[in-house]
Structure 1
C-alpha cells in the first residue's frame, strides 16, 4: 500500500550541503516549550533508568528565575502525590523577542549560594553562563504553534541536516511555515516528526503539572503531499536521530508512546484540529467557558456551518485520498458529536484561546481556522465561515489591546499626552510569516 513520504531531505539535496566533519551524536534532547506538554515530557524522560541528557530551552531570564524558585526541579502530581525529578540542563536565550540566536548554557550552581546540604558555595566554584553553539541532535517543540517559528529562528544556526525536530502542538501548518521561511533556499532541511498527545493535564504552577487522565502519544515522520510507493516496512530512510528519538519515546513508560504511520497521525491531528477550530475561537469571541456554548442556539448554528466547511476541506486533502473510511470519519455530523462530547466533558473549563485574548497575547487561530482556510484554497474550496471566525478572533484581541493602550498616556513634554496605538494584528502576522491572500 502506498504511504506518504516523510519530509526527510532527499539524497540529492543532502549532497548539496557543504561537507563538514560530522560531530559525534550526543544523545542529548532539547525541549523548546515550558507548558504542560514540555514539562511532562521532560519529567518522563528523566524517570528512565538511564535517562538521556535533557536541556530545557528557556526564552528569557524570567523563566530561568521561575525554574530557580522551583529549585531546578519539575513536579508531576499523580493522585495527589508529587513525583519530582531534577538533573535538567538549562539554556537561556537573551535576545529581544527571541530574535537573537545567543543561547547561554547555565552552570549547575549558577544563582545558588549554598549546596543542598547547607554548605556555602565557594566563590571560585560559581561559574558564569557560557555562550553555547552546540549543534542540536533531537529537538522537541511543544510551545504553541504561533511561537514555534520564532523559537526555531533563534536556534537556526544550531540545527543541521542531521537534526530531528518533533512538533507536538494543537495547530497544523507549522512544518510548512518553518520550511518556507527558514529552509526554502538552502537546499536542505532537518528531519521532521509530528505527534499527537491525548494525556490530560492541568497546570498547577511554573514547572508543576497535575496529571488528570492517562492517554497516549502517537508519533511519525511528518507528511508532505508527495506519494512514496515504498512500503513502510522497506523504508530505510530514517536517520539515526529520528530512530533514537522514536525509541526514546516508545521505551519511556509514562509517555505511553507508539510509533505510528504518517497517515494515522495526520488523521488524529485533523480530528483534534476540527474540535479546536470550533471550541477555541467561539469561546474566545464570546469570552465564555466551554459549556456555555451548549446553551446558545446561535452558537450551535455557527458550529454546524464551521464543521461543514472543515469536513469538506479535510475529505478533499490530496494526502488523504484513498484512505478507507475517510468520508465517514470526518463527516460534519460525526465532528459535531465530537465537539459536543468535548464541550460536555470540559464544560467548566476555559479554552487557552480565551486566556490569550484576555491577556492580549497572540493566538493559535492562524494554525486552527487559518490552516483550514489555506488548505481550502489549495483544493478549491472557499471557507467563508472559517475566514470570518479567524478575523473575529484577531479583531477581539486588537480591540482589547487598544482598550488597554488607551489607558496608558505617553509623556511627550506637552500638556496633553498621546496614547499608544498600533497595528498589532499586522505585526503578529508578520512575525509568523503569514500572508492573508484570501479574496
Structure 2
C-alpha cells in the first residue's frame, strides 16, 4: 500500500511521470489499483469534478480505494492510497489521462481540464458505448492538428461501486467478474484510419504488464471489432437488467435469447453499414457473427459476470441518468442517419427511460 510519505513524495513528480484518471468510478478505480500492484508503481492522481469531492476523498475516504473481489484470488481485498485533484487544484499540464466517466459526461468532465491538454497528451477512453470519439473530434477538437492522441480502451471486467464495510474507510469497489482490457491508438482523422505505428508509450506497456487487467494492445481496426463486441454485450445485458431490475445472472430466463437475437441483428446490420472498416476486417467474420454473439452475450451475463449488477442497472437504481443514448439509442440515431430504422433498439431505449422514470417517481413519493 502507498504510505502517507509516498503520497507526499508523489506530489513532486513531474506531470510526464504521472497518470491522471478522470472518473473515479468502478473501472477507473480498478485500473488504478492494478497499476498500483507493481513493486514500483506509477504515480496516479484521481481527478474530481470539484474541490469538495477531492477534499472528501482525501479526508472522509482517507485517499483510499478498496477493491473487494467476488472470485477466488490471492488478494480478495486490496487497498491503496492516491493523490486527488480538481480543476482549481490541478495546474500542471496533463501528459497521460485515462477517462472512465459515463459517456454523456465526457465533454463536461474534460472541459475544465482542456487548458492543460495539448496535442502531446495521450488520452485513453475506457467507457461503454460508441460515438464518444466522433463527438470529441467534432465538438472539442475540430482542428486535426490540435487533437491530443486519443486511445480507445475496451474493458470486459465486471465491477461496480459499493460502500466499504462498517468501520472501514475508503472508496469501495466490488470486482465481480474477471475479464480483459484491449487498447489501441485512435487515428486523429477517422476518415483516413492509417495503420498504427509502434508507440513508445510507457503507460501502455504498464497496462499490458498489469496481470490483473489481462491487457493487450491492438491495431485500431482490430480494437474496433472488440469494441463493437463489447458494445453488443452492453446493449443487451445493461438494458435488460436495468429494465428488469436484476443481476446479470438472473436474465437466464425464457425470452432472453429471442430478445438478444433481435437486438444484435438490428445493431450489427446498422454498424456494418455505418462503419465500413468492419467489413474489411477478418476478425469481424468470426467475432461479429450474429449467432455466436447471441451465445457469447448470454455466457458473459450468466456465467462470467452473473453476480455483477450492470452499470445501467446501478444508474436506474440510484436514480442517475443512464448511457442509453450511447448504447441502444446510438443504434437508433445511426439508423436514422442512413435513412433506416431500428425499432427493437428504439423500444428497448424507451423501456430503459421508463424504468428510470418509474424509479424516480417512486423515490419522490
Could you state the TM-score of these two structures normalised by the residue count of structure 2?
0.81
- Answering whether residue 322 of structure 2 is matched by residue 332 of structure 1, we say no
The alpha carbon displacement at 1:161 in A equals 1.4
Question: Does structure 1 residue 38 correspond to structure 2 residue 28?
Answer: yes
Deviation at 1:333, TM superposition (A): 1.5
Deviations along 1:140-182, whole A, 9 cap, x unmatched?
A: 0112222222211221222111111100112221111222222
Q: Which residue of 2 aligns with 1:29?
A: 19
378 and 329 in structure 1: CA distance in 2 versus 1, 3 angstrom threshold: farther
Contact 1:315–1:327 (Cα < 8 Å) also in 2 = no
Q: How many residues align?
A: 338
| 1:31-71: CA deviation from partner (whole Å, max 9, x where unpaired) | 01212221122223233343332211122424642443343
Q: Deviations over 1:376-411 (max 9, x none)?
A: 345554212112222332233234434545x4xxxx
CA distance in 2: counterparts of 1:81 and 1:348, whole angstroms:
16
Aligned to 2:4: none
Matched, 1:76 2:71: no
Q: Which has the larger radius of gyration?
A: 1
Query: Measured at CA, do residues 258 and 186 of structure 1 come closer, stay the same or move farther in structure 2, by a change above 3 Å?
Result: closer
Q: Does 1:226 align with 2:203?
A: no
- Distance in 2 separating the partners of 1:271 and 1:265: 10
- Structure with the higher helix share, 1 or 2: 2
2:314 is the counterpart of 1:355: yes
Output aligned runs, 1:27-176, within 5 Å: 27-60=17-50, 61-62=52-53, 64-77=55-68, 78-79=73-74, 81-86=76-81, 88-92=82-86, 102-104=87-89, 132-176=90-134
Aligned mates of 1:337, 1:303 — CA distance in 2: 9
Shift of 1:343: 3.3
Which structure 2 residues correspond to residues 300-379 of structure 1 after superposition, within 5 A? Answer: 300-316=257-273, 317-324=275-282, 326-345=284-303, 346-379=305-338
Partner of 2:350: 391
* Per-residue CA distance 1:130-149 (angstroms, 9 max, x = gap): xx322111100112222222
Please say if residues 126 and 155 of structure 2, whose CA atoms lie closer than 8 Å, have aligned partners that are also in contact. Answer: yes
Q: After alignment, is 326-335 or 159-168 more displaced?
A: 326-335
Structure 1 residues 30 and 380: CA distance shift in structure 2, 3 A: same
CA distance in 2, matches of 1:352, 1:339: 16
Q: CA deviation at 1:294?
A: 3.2
| Pick aligned residue for 1:272 from 230, 236, 242 | 230
| Shift in Å, 1:25 | 6.1
Structure 1: gaps of 5 or more residues? 1-23, 93-101, 105-131, 408-439
Q: How far 1:323 sits from its partner (Å)?
A: 1.4
Q: Alpha-carbon deviation of 1:184?
A: 2.4
The 1:314–1:290 alpha-carbon spacing in structure 2 relative to 1, beyond 3 Å, is same
Deviates more, 1:390-399 or 1:135-144: 390-399
Q: 1:262 to 1:399 in 2, by over 3 A?
A: same
- How far residue 228 of structure 1 moved from its aligned partner, in angstroms, is 4.8
SS in 1 for 2:16: coil
Structure 2 unpaired stretches of 5+: 1-13, 165-169
Aligned mates of 1:59, 1:335 — CA distance in 2: 37
1:91–1:329: structure 2 CA closer, same or farther, 3 Å change rule? same
User: Secondary structure of 1:155's match?
Assistant: helix
User: Is the Cα–Cα contact under 8 Å of residues 250 and 302 in structure 2 kept in the other structure?
Assistant: no
Q: Deviations over 1:323-370 (max 9, x none)?
A: 125244323222211222133224454322122123221101111112
Residues 412-427 of structure 1 correspond to what in structure 2 (within 5 A)?
A: none
Per the alignment, do residues 390 and 249 of structure 1 end up closer, same or farther by CA in structure 2, a change over 3 Å counting?
same
Q: Structure 2 vs 1, CA of residues 377 and 258 (structure 1 numbering), >3 Å: closer, same or farther? A: same
Cα distance change, pair 218–229 in 1 and its aligned pair in 2 (3 A) = closer
